Each structure stands twice: as C-alpha cells, then as structure tokens.
Structure 1
Amino acid sequence: MYEIAVIGAGPAGASAALFAAKAGKKTLLIDNDKGMTRRGWFENFYGISEVGGPELVETGHKQAVKFGAELVSEQAINLTSSGNGFVIETEDGIIYEAKHVILATGALTDLAAKAGVETKDGTEPRIKTVVAVDAEGKTNIAGIWAAGTVAGVSVHAIITAGDGAKVAINVISELNGARYVDHDVLKA
C-alpha cells in the first residue's frame, strides 16, 4: 500500500509527489498524459527563462522519480474507500491502494464526484466545477485531498505547482503527526 497516491501528474501533482517522495513516503504518481500543461508555453515560471509544456511536465516527473515516487502511465477511473485507505482502479483494470490520495486532475472533477467528493462552482475562466477543499487541501472525505486547478486555485502552472507542494506538506504532516518542513541548503 502506498502512503500517498497522486492522481494527475502536471505541475500540482508532480510537485506533490516530489515533496511526498523526498519526505520518504511511499508515493505513487498516476499520469494519464492528457494534462493541459503539455499544451502550454511558459515564460512566467520562476527560475526558468522559458520552457515548453512537455518539457516542464517531464522535468517534474523526473524530479518526483529521483526521490522515489513510482510513476505510472494510467487513467484512474474509480476511487473508493477501503479499510485503511483507498482503492484506485485504472482503465486497464490495475488496482492501487493508498492511505491518502491527492487529486491533481486539472480541469477534471469526474473522478472526484464519482468518489463522493463535494464540488462547487469554479471561478477561473473555462473552469466550471472544482473540488471543495479547506485551506489545507482537505476534501469532505478524510484522506482525500485536492491540489491545483481542480482545487480551485489559479490555472497558472507556477501557482498549481506551489499548491501541490502545500497540500503534500499538509498530508506529510498529518502522517508524521507533526509539522513537516523540507529545506535544503547549499553544500559547502
């Protein structure tokens, strides 16, 4: 069983998986290869002069995998509660189990709604519905979290990436029973 499964591997999802894996949590990152970031061009992403969406997404995947996240190319179609967590079923019939799930599905709320997660009207242009979350990223179902565009934050990649990191830190903190902080320092 994974401690944290992230469904959606764009900036929000890959960032969440990166932080979770770097914190030593057994992490699954599910990518359906259909995210809107892949179609973008970015000249407003802090620390990068310019980058195409496909390269940005692939870099995020590599970072998460570097720290131990397992990346799978699947389409999650069902999310159900089980004894100690959740069961994620994919289009190919593969089953994954996780204690916590972070939804980072961009503009798509179908999986969340099917799982019983509350949704609400979106405020971003072209984003009609989002998952209802609290300030930490928690949904109405304990153990299911949401980050990025699906959680109602701005569709800008830099903002969704930060939100994914924030939500992962909150999940890690809950798992650890104490506030988690991840700060690297330059090596002398």
Structure 2
Amino acid sequence: MSHVVVVGGGPGGLSAALFTAKNGLETSLFDQGETALRFAHLLNYLGIDSVDGEAFLHAAREQADAVGVHRHDERVVEVEDDGEEFVVVTETGTYAADYLVLATGQARELAAQLRCELDHDGTVLVDRNGRTSVEDVYAVGWLTRKDKVQAVISAGDGAAAALDVLSTVERAPFHDFDTPRDVTVGRRLGRRDDSTARNA
C-alpha cells in the first residue's frame, strides 16, 4: 500500500490527508499545531457561518482521525529522496513515504532540501494539482502563494494534490464523490471500504 506523508496541519495539510486516508492510502500527518489559522476567525469559509480558527482545526483533526489519518506531534527536521522513497526525519524518528505533501506555510526549508524549483516570487513552483518539480512531491497552501492566502483556498489545494496522488496510484483519474447512500449511520464521514470505493 502506498504511504503518503503530509507535513503541516493547517487546512491544506489536513485536507490532503483526509482525502488520501479516506480513500485507502496509508497516511501520516506531522502537525505541531503551528498553523496561522489558530489566530484566525473564519467568516468566509463556504458552508460555515462563523467559527474560531482553533475550533475549526479541532473539528478538522477529528474528521481526519475518523478516516484513519495517523497524526504525529513531531517536528520534521529533514526530508530526503533516496531514489526509491522519501525519508522523513523527525526529532524522534524516521519514516518512509512514497508520496510527500508539503503544507508548511511560509517555511520553505523542507522544499529547499528536496531542491524543489521556486517561482519568481520565492514560493514553491507547482502545477494546478500541487505537483512540484520533484516527482511525487506536492506543495499546497501558503507555500505556493505569496498573496491571496485563505483557508478555503489552502483546503482546495490539499484536495487537488490528494486526488492527483490517488490518480497516480490508481493509474486513472480518481474522483471522490460521495452520495447519501455512502454514509453509514454512526460514521461521521462515510469512509468507504475497498469494495465500495469508486474510481471513475
């Protein structure tokens, strides 16, 4: 099974982890709660009237946990591409990943370690799916935008990157589209088993 590592627990990182874990990929998220969203109050996030940033993050973390995201309160200090997989080094351990999603806000050190190409404004250069110049490395949110940073945009970036990872794994376009029928009573998200997951 492919292993996805997401570094950063803001809206972009949590969204990416939610989509990959929900659709059956082993997903680890490294989050020390340092996202700028903890200082915000959301009044412009589609579908939410008004919510404190910390309360939003709490709900988003619970949502990610419910679909099997393995969250780690560890700081990632180094990432390396050894030619076969990515080696993610924290202050307490080492992890391997097939796909890496960077959602580190304005901190670009990990992207620099991997030699991701930068745009003219110093942000990480990505395509519309969040792909960087390094194969199987994605960057989302503030890392890729100097301006126009909003929680809802970052969440969309994370979702786009996750769907691209899923499409790469499946070798076909992957669509995550749930219907009321997919939701099981008592489940918050309606996580699907392999037998009901759809790849259209």
TM-score (norm 2): 0.85
The structure having more radius of gyration, on CA atoms, is 2
Q: Which amino acid aligns with 2:125?
A: A
- Aligned-CA RMSD value: 1.7
| CA deviation after TM superposition for structure 1 residue 65, in Å | 1.4
Aligned equivalent of 1:130: 123
Q: Which amino acid aligns with 1:63?
A: Q
| CA deviation after TM superposition for structure 1 residue 93, in Å | 3.2
Residue 100 of structure 2 is aligned to residue 101 of structure 1 = yes
- SS of equivalent residue, structure 2 residue 68: coil
> How big is each residue's C-alpha offset from its partner over 1:150-170, in whole Å with a ceiling of 9 and x where there is no partner?
122731001110111011100
The answer to whether the Cα contact below 8 Å between 1:78 and 1:115 also exists between their aligned partners in 2 is no
Q: Which amino acid aligns with 1:59?
A: A
Aligned equivalent of 1:126: none
Residue from 134, 139, 142 that aligns with 2:132: 139
CA distance in 2: counterparts of 1:144 and 1:3, whole angstroms = 13
- SS of equivalent residue, structure 1 residue 120: coil
CA distance in 2: counterparts of 1:79 and 1:63, whole angstroms = 27
Q: Which amino acid aligns with 2:4?
A: I
Between Structure 1 and Structure 2, the one with more strand by share is 1
Aligned equivalent of 1:171: 165
Residue 136 of structure 2 is aligned to residue 148 of structure 1 = no
CA distance in 1: counterparts of 2:2 and 2:165, whole angstroms = 13
- SS of equivalent residue, structure 1 residue 102: strand
| CA deviation after TM superposition for structure 1 residue 32, in Å | 2.1
The answer to whether the Cα contact below 8 Å between 1:2 and 1:28 also exists between their aligned partners in 2 is no
- SS of equivalent residue, structure 2 residue 152: helix
> How big is each residue's C-alpha offset from its partner over 1:97-145, in whole Å with a ceiling of 9 and x where there is no partner?
10000001111111111221122344xxxxxx31111222111111111
TM-score (norm 1): 0.90
The count of residues paired between Structure 1 and Structure 2 equals 181
The answer to whether the Cα contact below 8 Å between 1:85 and 1:143 also exists between their aligned partners in 2 is no
| CA deviation after TM superposition for structure 1 residue 55, in Å | 1.2
The answer to whether the Cα contact below 8 Å between 2:129 and 2:157 also exists between their aligned partners in 1 is no
Residues 31-110 of structure 1: matches in 2 within 5 Å? 31-90=31-90, 92-110=91-109
> How big is each residue's C-alpha offset from its partner over 1:15-50, in whole Å with a ceiling of 9 and x where there is no partner?
000000011000011102111111101111111111
State the 4+ residue runs in structure 1 displaced beyond 6 angstroms. none
CA distance in 1: counterparts of 2:84 and 2:148, whole angstroms = 33
Aligned equivalent of 1:13: 13
Q: Which runs of 5+ in 2 are unaligned?
A: 184-200
- SS of equivalent residue, structure 2 residue 45: coil
The answer to whether the Cα contact below 8 Å between 1:2 and 1:97 also exists between their aligned partners in 2 is no
CA distance in 1: counterparts of 2:156 and 2:33, whole angstroms = 21
CA distance in 1: counterparts of 2:167 and 2:21, whole angstroms = 13
Q: Which runs of 5+ in 1 are unaligned?
A: 123-128
